[in-house]
């Protein structure tokens, strides 16, 4: 049984409670402040800020909330053991964003940073993207795209919803996107080869490769997995920035479509905004700009009554 634990802020825990309030159950265990039960997932929130997702749908539900910044600050990276001096090597890194946002796409980026370009990339301002503002990432991303070999993939909402309806989990979608982006970069730099490929880990290695087992071409050579990988090599940090940049650009397009700036995340503010769009633009428009299976849809529906 899949078991995923995220460390969230008090505000994020409240958002989790709001999202699953209709599925709330009683759980009289020490430290538990909230519990919910879905058909395939149990969600338990603790006083410590930890939220545990258990069951077949754990990966899907946990992906809605991402990995909190507090987790990155308070716990060590987990995954493959990296070689000595890994941060100085020639590496392709990949990362994604948008998984926990109701509005907007999932975006994945893969970036090759050879050893001799690491100082330049750092000089351009690359560091852990969770420490950067959206405005700053918008500013530096174009420069990074000029000096790095990269691939950016954007899974827009219509395609996302179609795949989700077919039974694809977010984990499977992300794995397919990562594999495709990595293939693109490898093809672009051929015959040159990176020393390693580092994927910001969102699933165990076996799970990742099970998701993409039917693909004709699977990237396997010298692939490493680690959480908080943006802190381990500038290639992943750069990929994180480019993925975020692509997400923001698509959010700009969708905001222009509806006539106002769309709210990021999946909070109660998003519920209100979704209901507004539903009333003024119709269900088809809301569906076309959202991850329709999120609990925000049902909350917006109730606001319509």
Helix (H, G, I), strand (E, B) or coil at 93: strand
State the CB neighbour count (10 A cutoff) for residue 116.
Answer: 8
Q: Report the b/e string of 45-69 with b at 16+ CB within 10 A.
A: bbeebebbbbbebbbbbbbbbbbbe
User: Is 96 assigned a ligand-binding role in the annotation?
Assistant: yes
Residue among 56, 38, 46 at smallest CA distance from 5: 46
Q: Which two tokens stand for residue 221?
A: 């050579």
Query: Number of helices and strands (H, E) in the chain?
Result: 12, 9
In 190-233, alpha helices (H): 205-211
Whether 80 has a binding-site annotation, put simply, is: no
200 annotated to bind ligand: yes
Place of tokens 């009289």: 28
CB contact at 8 A, 198 and 228: no
Cα–Cα dist 115/295, whole Å: 44
Cis bond before residue 191 (omega within 30° of 0): yes
Strands 32-37 and 42-46: antiparallel
185 with 111: CB under 8 angstroms?
yes
CA dihedral 254, 256, 259, 264 (to 10 degrees): 40
Per DSSP, helices labelled H in 23-133 are 58-63, 69-74, 118-123
Residue numbering of the annotated binding site: 95-96, 200
Binding-site annotation: residue ranges for a divalent metal cation? 95-96, 200
């Amino acid at each position: 049984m899949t078991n995923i634990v995220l460390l969230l802020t008090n505000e994020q825990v409240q958002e989790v409670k709001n999202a699953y309030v209709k599925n709330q159950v009683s759980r009289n265990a020490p430290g538990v402040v909230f519990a919910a039960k879905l058909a395939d997932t149990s969600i338990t929130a603790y006083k410590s800020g930890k939220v545990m997702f258990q069951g077949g749908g754990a990966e899907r539900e946990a992906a809605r909330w991402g990995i909190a910044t507090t987790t990155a600050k308070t716990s060590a990276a987990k995954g493959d053991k990296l070689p000595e001096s890994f941060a100085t090597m020639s590496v392709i890194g990949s990362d994604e964003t948008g998984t926990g946002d109701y509005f907007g796409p999932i975006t994945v980026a893969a970036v090759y940073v050879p050893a001799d370009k690491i100082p330049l990339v750092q000089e351009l301002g690359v560091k852990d993207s969770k420490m950067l503002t959206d405005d700053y990432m918008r500013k530096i991303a174009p420069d990074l795209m000029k000096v790095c070999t990269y691939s950016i993939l954007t899974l827009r909402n219509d395609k996302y919803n179609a795949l989700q309806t077919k039974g694809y989990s977010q984990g499977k979608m992300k794995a397919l996107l990562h594999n495709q982006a990595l293939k693109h970069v490898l093809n672009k730099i051929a015959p040159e080869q990176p020393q390693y490929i580092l994927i910001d880990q969102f699933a165990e290695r076996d799970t990742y490769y099970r998701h993409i087992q039917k693909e004709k071409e699977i990237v396997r050579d010298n692939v490493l997995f680690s959480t908080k990988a943006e802190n381990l090599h500038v290639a992943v940090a750069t990929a994180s920035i480019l993925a975020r940049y692509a997400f923001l650009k698509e959010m700009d397009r969708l905001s222009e479509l509806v006539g106002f700036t769309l709210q990021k995340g999946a909070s109660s503010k998003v519920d209100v905004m979704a209901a507004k769009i539903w009333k003024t633009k119709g269900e088809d428009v809301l569906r076309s700009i959202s991850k329709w299976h999120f609990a925000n849809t049902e909350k917006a529906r109730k606001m319509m009554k």
